[in-house]
Structures are given as C-alpha cells and as structure tokens.
Amino acid sequence: MLTSKDVPFQWTDIEQQAFDKIKSMVCCEVLLSYPDFNKPFHIHTDASHYQLGTVISQDNRPIAFYSHKLQPAQVRYTTTERELLSIVETLKEFRNILLGQRIVVHTDHQNLTHKNFNTERVMRWRLIIEEFGPTMEYIKGPKNIVADTLSRLEMTSDTESLDMADCYGLDSDDLPDNAFPISYTLIDREQKKDKTLLKRAQIGSYSLKKFHGGSATVRLLCFKDKIVIPTSLTK
C-alpha cells in the first residue's frame, strides 16, 4: 500500500497499470447513455451567480450535461429566477427527447416546488414548464453535486453544451470507440465522406432534415424520417 507510512513510496509499472485501470473504470461509469423512453428522465439543475448547470439521467447514468453562461441582465435575476431559468433552458435545449416523457426535476431551491407566480417573467417560464408537466422534487444542496459543479464550471463562450469530444479533449476524428453516443456534427461530417451513401441519397426516399444539439444546427440525411448512419460510424 503506497499510503502506508511503513512502505517506501515507489511508482512502478504495477502501480501505473492499476492507476490506468481505475481511470478507465471511472470513464466508463460517466459515459453518456442513450435515452430509454420507457423510463422517467431525472433532471438535476442548479444556478450560480453567473452560470446554469444541469445533468439529465436515467438509472443514475447521465444522458446529457448542459451548462449555460448567464447574460449580464440575467445575472441580476433573483436566486429563485435563476434556479427556475436553469429548468426552463434545459427543457428548451433538450425538447426533442423530453417533451411528452415522464420527467422528475430535482432542485436544491425548495421554493420552486411551490407554484408561486410572482412576476410576469416567472409566470411565462411556469407556462413553458407546464407544457412538459414535470414532477418537482426538492433535493438538499450537498446531494446536487453534478449540477452544482456545472453551474460553476468556467466556460469560454456564452452558451455551451458538453459533448463527448469536449469531455475527452479530442477532435471527433480521434474519439476512441467507447466514446459514443456520437454528436450530430460528427454524423454530418461522416455522411458527407460516404460516397456510397451520397449516391443512394439521390433516390427520392431520402431527405435532409435539421437537427439541433450542442449549440449547433446541422442538416442530416434521413431515410423515412430516420437518420442514416454512414458506414464509418455503424459500429
């Protein structure tokens, strides 16, 4: 044991292999999962004085992470308004997977579990939230770790969603095989490289449709309203 005071500290290939194995296990635990529309979505949200943070999960596995830097005017919102805004922005950003599903919102701001319409702004946001019909549950701050971290994570732009390329610090071309699910941007790039797919796309059954995610909008080739995955990504 390297932590024992009776054992001289040394770092050999054995310790390095153990360390690498631990890192690999931790990475696998936090890889984004695909949504299961037969199960409820759990949304943990939080807001600091300058940023919002959210994690969407199922069975304690993350589906998506989201962080949004507040505009100067939003910084002056009350604590309740900022906490409510974090819920609204998350529902809007992930509307394509959340609308019509069972949703449980976990917030460490207990006032949000009560329907208080104090201002026109809050009332307008409440109407957006009611469209999704979530169940609001209070969670103590120390248990809201991930959302709290994302609300304080320093960002370089006004709005950013964290995708797998960001988490690995790599360009999409260099992503390891276990870094999926993949992004719309990567699908778009690989579709344009697939010559066989482009030839088949000339058939009338194929169409281009817009998809939004990770703060970007792309047009993807679809067949019968389903995204066509190019050969390079079918694995």
Domain ranges of the chain: 41-162, 174-233
- Alpha-carbon distance of 223 to 8, in angstroms, equals 63
Helix axes 120-132, 79-93, angle to 10 degrees: 40
Confidence label for 169 from pLDDT (cuts 50, 70 and 90): very low
Whole-number Å distance between alpha carbons of 78 and 17: 49
pLDDT range class, residue 91, cuts 50, 70, 90? very high
**pLDDT tens track for 107-129:** 877 766 666 666 788 888 888 88
Q: Whose CA is closest to 172, among 94, 230, 123?
A: 230
Single-letter code of the amino acid located at 70: L
pLDDT band at 104 (very low <50, low <70, confident <90, very high): very high
CATH T-level fold of 41-162? Nucleotidyltransferase; domain 5 (3.30.420)
Q: Average model confidence (pLDDT) for the chain?
A: 77
| Phi, psi (degrees; rounded to nearest 5) at 64 | -160, 150
Q: Which two tokens stand for residue 194?
A: 């697939």
Asked if 208 contacts 222 with a C-beta cutoff of 8 angstroms, the reply is yes
ω before 176 within 30° of 0 (cis)?
A: no
Model confidence at 157, pLDDT cuts 50, 70, 90, reads very low
Residue 198 neighbours by CB under 8 Å, 6+ apart: 191, 192
User: How far is it, in rounded angstroms, from Cα 216 to Cα 95?
Assistant: 15
For the chain, the residue count is: 235
User: Do the beta carbons of residue 66 and residue 90 sit within 8 Å?
Assistant: yes
Confirm if 132 and 104 have CB atoms less than 8 A apart: no
Burial (CB count within 10 angstroms: exposed 0-12, middle 13-18, buried 19+), residue 5: exposed
Whole-number Å distance between alpha carbons of 146 and 46? 9
Q: For residues 132-142, give the mean pLDDT.
A: 81
Taking 90 as the threshold, does the pLDDT of residue 39 lie above it? Answer: yes
